[in-house]
């Protein structure tokens, strides 16, 4: 993350950030890129490998040209489950949902005012993303798959 972007980083779901993100609810997801590391890795007690990875950084490309850069996101199949573990499992779950024609279904907060995004596929499958930090920008070109 470049120094110029640091001022754009959100760590809590403030009323202003809530308003911006809530306006995106219902927007289709065009592409979702998952990185093999996360900015939170160095803050964890144990080294993180592909098999024990819980947190990922990702880029969520929405149909209205909005790009959400998500940092330290844990991926949950639902609110009653443990997070999905393993880079391959996380990537497969998000790829499957994106291929199903997913959209941003909801924006929520937890007790600590952290961001939770609900992504929902056309067939009803869903994913919850608990996000440590994020930046909202725009995109003009999709990344290479």
- pLDDT for 6 beyond 70: no
The overall longest dimension of the chain from CA atoms, in Å, is: 40
- Residue from 91, 88, 120, 115 nearest 104 by CA: 120
Give the DSSP letter of residue 84.
P
Per-residue pLDDT band at 7 (split at 50, 70, 90): low
Choose between 42 and 3: higher pLDDT.
42
Work out whether the CA dihedral 121, 64, 4, 112 comes out positive or negative.
Answer: negative
pLDDT tens digit sequence for 17-59: 999 999 999 999 999 999 988 988 888 777 888 888 999 999 9
pLDDT confidence of residue 3 = 47
For residues 78-87, average pLDDT: 95
- The position carrying tokens 């997070």 is 83
């Amino acid at each position: 993350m470049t120094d110029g972007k640091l001022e754009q980083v959100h760590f809590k779901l403030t009323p202003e950030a809530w308003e911006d993100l809530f306006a995106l609810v219902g927007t289709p997801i065009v592409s979702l890129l998952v990185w093999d590391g996360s900015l939170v890795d160095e803050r964890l007690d144990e080294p993180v490998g592909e098999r024990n990875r819980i947190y990922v950084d990702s880029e969520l490309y929405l149909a209205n040209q909005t790009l959400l850069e998500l940092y330290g996101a844990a991926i949950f199949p639902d609110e009653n489950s443990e997070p999905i573990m393993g880079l391959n499992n996380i990537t497969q779950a998000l790829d499957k949902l994106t291929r199903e024609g997913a959209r941003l279904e909801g924006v929520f907060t937890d007790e600590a005012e952290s961001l939770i995004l609900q992504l929902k596929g056309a067939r009803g499958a869903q994913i919850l993303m608990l996000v440590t930090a994020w930046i909202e920008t725009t995109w003009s070109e999709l990344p290479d798959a």
